[in-house]
């Protein structure tokens, strides 16, 4: 009976371990265009996997399709969390091709605006159906009180999704993290510069705490 009991306990431990392993959580990176979402996604992916997620550009709507980097394992103080990063297109209420004409020919600008509009729809689909948590990226040099930000934060809250607000671009002189904290006091705000890599330790601590 002793051998049988030991075998039973061993099988139970293996079974418990197998069923306790969870699928990586899908964390959507959201925010308005040019807030630095892809720069952040690339920073996280490179730090923990060595790979990038997508191209970065100063031109709005560089990301026009959701891109996913799977199995990004972040380890902090003995705690590990594995996530799939979903870098989503910037969400806006209107995409006008003329905002691209300073950098692109008219035909390319029109195509970019059409693709950007489709990207907004895709981002909203991911938010409503396919993410387990949200990193909401804001440009800390810009006013956070906009129709888009208020709408998206409201949708995230209505779905009871865990959300972290990242006040990006603190390397800019016009940056004001407090302005973002005051706009959305119900959520934790983390200051960072994804471009320069400033304050990434707190970024990773927060991701492990919120999504682990």
Q: What CATH number is associated with residue 146? A: 3.40.50.300
Whether 16 is covered by a domain: the verdict is no
Whether 72 is covered by a domain: the verdict is yes
Number of domains in the chain: 1
Q: Is the pLDDT of residue 16 over 50?
A: no
pTM more than 0.85: no
Whether 127 is covered by a domain: the verdict is yes
d(CA 87, CA 65): 8
Mean pLDDT on 7-31: 63
Sheet containing 25-30: give its strands across: 67-76, 79-87, 25-30, 133-139, 163-168, 189-191
d(CA 171, CA 197): 10
Q: What is the pLDDT of residues 162-185, one digit of tens each?
A: 999 999 999 999 999 999 999 999
- Show the domain range for 122: 24-211
Which range is least confidently modeled, 12-21, 52-61, 76-85?
A: 12-21
184 CB neighbour count, 10 Å cutoff = 19
Whether 104 is covered by a domain: the verdict is yes
Say what the alpha-carbon torsion angle 48, 53, 58, 64 is, to the nearest 10 degrees.
-150
Q: What is the pLDDT of residues 117-129, one digit of tens each?
A: 566 666 666 676 7
pLDDT of res. 19: 40
Residue 180 corresponds to which tokens in the numbers above? 């973002």
Whether 5 is covered by a domain: the verdict is no
Alpha helices for the chain (secondary structure H): 2-20, 37-49, 106-129, 147-158, 177-183, 200-211
């Amino acid at each position: 009976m002793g051998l049988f009991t030991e075998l039973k306990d061993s099988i139970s431990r293996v079974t418990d371990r197998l069923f306790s392993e969870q699928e990586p959580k899908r964390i959507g990176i959201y925010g308005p265009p040019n807030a630095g979402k892809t720069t952040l996604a690339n920073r996280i992916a490179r730090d923990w996997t060595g790979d990038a997620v997508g191209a970065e550009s100063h031109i709005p709507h560089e990301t026009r399709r959701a891109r996913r980097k799977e199995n990004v394992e972040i380890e902090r103080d003995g705690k590990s969390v594995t996530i799939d990063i979903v870098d989503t297109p910037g969400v806006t209420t209107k995409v006008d091709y003329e905002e691209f004409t300073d950098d692109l020919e008219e035909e390319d600008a029109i195509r970019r605006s059409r693709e950007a509009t489709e990207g907004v729809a895709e981002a909203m689909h991911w938010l409503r159906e396919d993410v387990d948590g949200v990193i909401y990226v804001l440009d800390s040099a810009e006013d956070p009180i906009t129709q888009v930000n208020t709408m998206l934060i409201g949708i995230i809250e209505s779905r009871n999704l865990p959300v972290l607000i990242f006040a990006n671009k603190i390397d800019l002189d016009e940056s004001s993290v407090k302005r973002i904290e005051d706009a959305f006091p119900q959520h934790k705000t983390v200051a960072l510069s994804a471009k320069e890599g400033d304050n990434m330790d707190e970024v990773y601590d927060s991701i492990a705490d919120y999504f682990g």
